[in-house]
Amino acid sequence: MHGKNQSRDFLLSIGARAATAALAIAVVFALTVALSQSAQAQTRTWTEQVLHSFGNGSDGVNPSGMILDSVGNLYGTTSEGGTYGVGTVFELTPNGHGGRIEQVLFNFYGPYGDGPLGGLIFDAAGNLYGTTQSGSDSNLGTVFELTPTAGGGWTEQVLHNFNGDGYDPLAGLVIDAAGNLYGTTDGGNEDYPYGTVFELTPTAGGGWTAKVLHSFNAADGAYPWFGSLILDGAGNLYGTTLRGGTYGAGVVFELTPTMEGNWTETVLHSFSQNGTDGYFPFGGVIFDATGSLYGTTWIGGSNDAGTVFELTPTGDGNWTETLLHTFGGGTDGANPAAGLIFDAAGNLYGTTGAGGNYGYGYGTVFELMPNGSGGWTEQILYNFRNSPDGNDPDTPLVLDSAGNIYGATGGGGTYGYGTVFELTHASPCAECSLTALR
């Protein structure tokens, strides 16, 4: 089984190379009219607030990624802790004074699954869906649903127990317009042990039918980890695998439905340990408005400390990779394990699990801004210090309508078991755009 602690051991085993990387990369860019927006972003002051520190009692340990509802409540999972020690689903509600109140919505145990490592999603009715890495009758993992009740509680239902059709679902899910759920498993079966992509379809009787859409064979990818799938407007699925592909260093893939009801996989990019490309993509990918894909690799690049990449369709069925940023391994950050998010202006935000101003291992929140000349400029928005604000921010960020950023750290905080944090920014000075043009 591949647990979160095991994954951290894997990171450490290959992280020694990143720890000795160069400390920074100098970036030079011309000041143009298009740079005024970047200058404004660079002059914004960001303030971090810890909304919750885990580990005080039975409220959960090691939080995963979160989502926001329409009124600003945060929902997430913890892979450990809670009443039975094997994970929780929690909600953080604004308290009216700038802070948050935590409520545990569900404590996992035994037949209801344990060890949820992925985040959550909502359906149109307000039900929550997610996965557990293990637990259930077969102890190979589950897909679950949490339904709100009239009394303010939540009821959990296991929609699927994995048993011979994959195991270890490490990532969250994605839902289509028809209510079908899609996800991945890190493990497969005896013939194809390298993981699967699966679909759960609701049936008329209130049940769910599971179907394996693709079993990886190593040559076309192996071991999809923490990155959830995404859907495009045509119903195609996109994701990453940690290993496999042409060079054994991971892939970005696409699954396309056929007229016969099957799915065809296409490898869009095979990562290479060639000293330039990144490799080991832990997180998933996202789209921009033009159909390009963006993601991160945990290691690789010229400093062996990870990269941010873009894949652009060429129009002939192929995709071209561009490295937008190579991390330096020191104050620049190192080892991004989560995916990225966009804001309305087209800036990218993400986290590194290591690097920053307070020593290798605490991590950063970063922003990448288009610089008007075809490149991207990185800004470190926050450097984690371990205590009291957390370390190892290795799950995806979420952005609210006001531009505030929310995320989680896997460790650190007041009690040492992770935090949920918020980054807020002040308005840029009125002179910023003029300064950029002088």
What is the reported pLDDT for 145? 98
Q: Residue 26: pLDDT above 90?
A: no
Instruction: Using CB atoms within 10 Å of the CB of residue 20, give its burial: 0 to 12 exposed, 13 to 18 middle, 19+ buried.
Output: exposed
Phi and psi, residue 390, nearest 5°: 105, 170
Domains of the chain, CATH where assigned: 65-215 (2.120.10.30)
Compute the average pLDDT of residues 53-78. Answer: 94
Per the CB < 8 A criterion, the answer to whether 250 and 242 are in contact is yes
What is the reported pLDDT for 191? 87
What is the reported pLDDT for 4? 45
Is 198 or 374 the better-scoring residue by pLDDT?
198
How far, in Å, CA of 239 to CA of 306, rounded? 18
How far, in Å, CA of 274 to CA of 276, rounded? 6
What is the reported pLDDT for 31? 27
Band of pLDDT at residue 369, cut at 50, 70 and 90: very high
Find the DSSP H helices in 101-195: none
Task: With CA atoms as reference, report the closest residue to 40 among 437, 438, 429.
Answer: 429
Tell me the per-residue pLDDT of 177-201, one tens digit each, with 9 for 90 and over. 999 999 999 999 888 899 999 999 9
Return mean pLDDT, the chain. Answer: 88
Q: Residue 437: pLDDT above 90?
A: no
Tell me the per-residue pLDDT of 253-266, one tens digit each, with 9 for 90 and over. 999 999 998 999 99
What is the reported pLDDT for 359? 60
Instruction: Using CB atoms within 10 Å of the CB of residue 116, give its burial: 0 to 12 exposed, 13 to 18 middle, 19+ buried.
Output: buried
Contacts of 424 (CB under 8 A, 6+ apart): 46, 47, 49, 404
The label of the residue with tokens 């009291």 reads 388
Tell me the per-residue pLDDT of 198-220, one tens digit each, with 9 for 90 and over. 999 999 988 999 999 999 999 99
Per the CB < 8 A criterion, the answer to whether 301 and 309 are in contact is no
How far, in Å, CA of 298 to CA of 307, rounded? 7
What is the reported pLDDT for 360? 56
What is the percent of the chain with per-residue pLDDT over 90, rounded to a whole number?
Answer: 77
Per the CB < 8 A criterion, the answer to whether 316 and 373 are in contact is no
Specify the pTM: 0.89
Tell me the per-residue pLDDT of 408-432, one tens digit each, with 9 for 90 and over. 999 999 999 999 999 998 755 433 3
Tell me the per-residue pLDDT of 282-326, one tens digit each, with 9 for 90 and over. 999 999 999 999 999 999 999 999 999 999 999 898 999 999 999
What six digits make up the tokens of 437? 């043009």
What is the reported pLDDT for 51? 96
What six digits make up the tokens of 185? 């498993």
CA 432 to chain centre: 33
3 state DSSP class of 430: coil
